Amino acid sequence: MSPLLGQRILLGISAGIAAYKSAHLARLLKKAGAEVRVVMTDGAQAFITPLTLQALTGEAVRTSLLDPEAEAGMGHIELARWADTLLVAPATADLMARLAHGHADDLLTTLNLASDARRVMAPAMNQAMWRHPATQRNAERLASDGWQLLGPAAGDQACGDVGPGRMLEPEEIVTALTVGESAGQGGDASANASGPAAGLTITLTAGPTREPLDPVRYLTNHSSGKMGYALAASAARLGARVRLISGPVSLATPPGVERIDVETAEQMHAAALRLAVDSDAFIGCAAVADYRAAAPAEHKLKKRDDAESLTLELVKNPDIIAAVAALPAAQRPLVVGFAAETQDLEHYAQDKLTRKGLDMIVANDVSLAGQGFGADHNAALLLWRRPDATTPGRHQTATLTKTELADTILHHLLERLSARQASDPHTQDTP
């Protein structure tokens, strides 16, 4: 049974080219069992007609604040009381600014002030407008006022630019609403329970490991931890309980994230297995050393004048992501791995996805300049297993900031979780 069954969703549409997606969104919401009514701004009607939305929802579309035929001219109050969820998709930069500052100069902004409903928006605008400090301030203000912001995604835009600002696809929005509603029916609310990942526990690994050779030296790699920390921050913003198992990095703990510091692969392995069993999802983003010294020296290894080389005996470290994926079904979370490659990216990623029994993998080419270790930007290939198909699902991102990439990965993770819940008989209602 869909968690959206019987939910009363008031869909607000503002003036953006992404309004064409709102028709499909309305259809999907109706298919999920929700009752849907639509409010459109004047500008939205330049992109899509009220008649289209009326045909899809079976309800009259409201476009005017002062409508003498709607509840004696007070229809906005009736609508505000009717809704369980106020969903604005698309939400333009202008509408976000007006909502953030409490304007009530049309029907949609007035409904925001008059309603106690859950409030969700899917921003959509040019990438420069989204990145502008004023828009970012408005987004933060809206979030603090209780709005749940879904996206935006990144990619090609109608204006020809590439970057963040695309409205999430209707399927992604419905998934986010469904996961959030399912979590809300679970009873107890966590401190972060105000987003599409509310009620979920996500455990991550991040950063490098250090494998001691002696009290002074160690084996490690170039991982900065930025990608893992961006994922932790994104998961916390989406409302999840987040536990971050971190190797040694020079990064501040993201707000709302529980951090567990480790140094070696064995320490990370122990923490991962301990925390994974009560997690909904596990993301293995750390760059774990493949090998460690068989017997670290008790004292500093000295350079010898009579020896031109030094031989070290290394032994294999535990495979953390494979160990989590091999947990018994009752304890196993959804498992997401990472693959940092320098050649044949898709081939090696698909092999790792299958060989280690992962649900999803995020692969990136660390040989490309300005991407990967230590950089602030990255591009990734996402692959995921599909039980009813012989080939994995696939999504290639553009080059994004690591924050934007983290948001994209988390939205795909929520989709996978929703699909897993729908196919698991233990999560279905029993008669």
Q: Kindly list the distances between the CA atom of residue 148 and the CA atoms of 165, 188, 357, 385, in Å, as whole numbers in the listed order.
A: 16, 19, 33, 29
| 344 in a labelled binding site | no
Residues 6 or more apart from 263 whose CB is under 8 A from it?
209, 210, 247, 248
Q: How far apart are CA 199 and CA 417, in angstroms?
A: 12
CB contact at 8 A, 81 and 75: no
Q: Catalytic: 159?
A: yes
Quote the tokens at residue 114: 């008059």
Q: How far apart are CA 121 and CA 364, in angstroms?
A: 30
Quote the tokens at residue 103: 């304007």
Q: Does residue 392 have a cis peptide bond before it, meaning omega lies within 30 degrees of 0? A: no
Residues 6 or more apart from 135 whose CB is under 8 A from it?
93, 96, 97, 125, 129
List the one residue out of 204, 208, 127 whose CA is nearest residue 163: 127
| 318 in a labelled binding site | yes
Please tell me which residue in 66, 159, 216, 315 is annotated as part of the active site: 159
CB contact at 8 A, 195 and 177: no
| Helix H or strand E segment including 340 | strand 334-341
| 296 in a labelled binding site | no
| 105 in a labelled binding site | no
| 300 in a labelled binding site | yes
CB contact at 8 A, 153 and 146: no
Quickly count: other Cβ atoms within 10 Å of residue 14's Cβ: 30
Q: Kindly list the distances between the CA atom of residue 123 and the CA atoms of 20, 47, 108, in Å, as whole numbers in the listed order.
A: 14, 16, 15
CB contact at 8 A, 95 and 39: no
Q: How far apart are CA 157 and CA 41, in angstroms?
A: 22
| 284 in a labelled binding site | yes
Q: How far apart are CA 124 and CA 152, in angstroms?
A: 6
CB contact at 8 A, 378 and 227: yes
CA dihedral 102, 146, 170, 419 (to 10 degrees): 180
| 290 in a labelled binding site | yes
List the one residue out of 164, 145, 161, 22 whose CA is nearest residue 93: 164
Q: Which positions make up the binding site for CTP?
A: 284-286, 290, 300, 318-321, 338, 352, 356
Catalytic positions, written as ranges? 159
Which residue ranges make up the annotated binding site? 284-286, 290, 300, 318-321, 338, 352, 356
